[in-house]
Amino acid sequence: MSDELTLTVGGKVISGWTDVRVTRGIERIPGDFDIGLTELFPGELDEVVVTPGDACVVQIGGDTVVTGYIDRYIPSFDTYDHRIRVVGRGKCQDLVDCSAEWSNGQISGASALAVASKLAAPYGITASCNESGLRVIPQFNLMLGETPFEIIDRVSKYSSLLAYEETDGNLILARASTLQHATNLEEGQNVEGASVEYSADQRFQTYRAFLQAINTFKEGGDGGNLIATTTDSGVLRNRQKFIIAEAVAGYMDVAAQRAAWEMNRRNGRSVVVRVVVDSWRDGDGMLWAPNMLVSVYLPSLKLDRKTWLISEVTFRTDENGTHAELVIMSPDAFAVEPTALQYGFVDGSTLSTQ
């Protein structure tokens, strides 16, 4: 299968790109690309007409990887050649860049999917979610100037969902996937290079959740303001993290959830694997994709066989050849923060418990 990258603009397909970088991820929205052409013969690039703002589709071997718009067109020349660069992002860029449109500025009685769908609709973007039983969002007001994605991110967290862009430019609300790539990533097989970042600087021995920053509960006895404690047995010296568990008056369980989330997420991010693979596709011909599980085995880096989640994928062609760069972490790294949408006194109906 040919994995040539093509850019379709205005019905015209442009190929022959000499350097390519396309990146997608579950913690970056939108997907983006930066591609370049160098003229081999005089006048060769005269037919390449690209205008910033044009709708475009980026494909690899017929598989779409980014659907969006041209952000920048950069022609240049020097004594030796003539070059062009084209930089663009997926359709969800409008959710990140623009201000939210909502008729009365108040959201009430809707799910995260319903809110995301309404905010995305003015930009020709649809939202989808395969999770059922989404929480009903209590009434809250939008702030003028907020972007659609700032609101979508907030209501998605409330429902324990990740929000990221699909290859067709539309929005996905999802949890960490249980789907797995057909091919393992193994040293000596398909891995050209790899690194593992083992870190301890963001881990703590004890996580304590407090109701508020100033203790006004002394009459409740020692520790009256302390409402949850979680301990990480993997941290051997005294390192404490204090958390203000905002908006939990009347529903203290969320404080324990928040402290546990803080510990698990930091532990999940204490090992970050970066792998350079010799192909843009796995053994079944599927492009490497974010939010997919993959088995990793890197004995030289003291990483035993583990099945972890792909956070980010970059497809790259340059002077070093063609390869895919993957960022991989434990699924715990993508647990969504338990949160409330309103500050002050709340009850159990306004808190995420997932």
Q: What is the pLDDT of residues 192-246, one digit of tens each?
A: 999 999 998 889 999 988 877 676 655 544 456 777 888 988 899 999 998 876 5
Alpha-carbon distance of 83 to 7, in angstroms, equals 16
pLDDT in tens, 14-24: 988 989 999 99
Fold of 95-174: Phage tail protein beta-alpha-beta fold (3.55.50)
| C-beta neighbour count of 353 within 10 angstroms | 11
Q: Which of 18-32, 230-244, 256-270 has the lowest mean pLDDT?
A: 256-270
Give 5-90's CATH code, choosing from 3.40.980.10, 2.40.30.10, 2.30.300.10, 3.40.50.720. Answer: 2.30.300.10
Tell me the average pLDDT of the chain: 85
CATH number of 185-199+269-334: 2.30.300.10
pLDDT score recorded for residue 350: 40
């240049």: which residue's tokens? 76
- Counting beta carbons within 10 angstroms of the beta carbon of residue 271, is it exposed (0 to 12), middle (13 to 18) or buried (19 or more)? middle
Please state the rounded mean pLDDT for residues 300-304.
92
Domain with CATH 2.30.300.10 in the chain: 5-90, 185-199+269-334
pLDDT tens-digit map of 57-74: 999 998 999 999 999 999
pLDDT for residue 349: 41
In sequence order, the β-bridge partners of residue 129 are: 173
Residue linked to tokens 């057909």: 182
Closest CA to 187 of 308, 312, 273, 60: 273
> Which of 134, 125, 53, 51 is CA-nearest to residue 91?
125
Q: Give pLDDT, residue 30.
A: 97
pLDDT given at position 288: 97
CATH 3.55.50.10 residue spans of the chain: 95-174
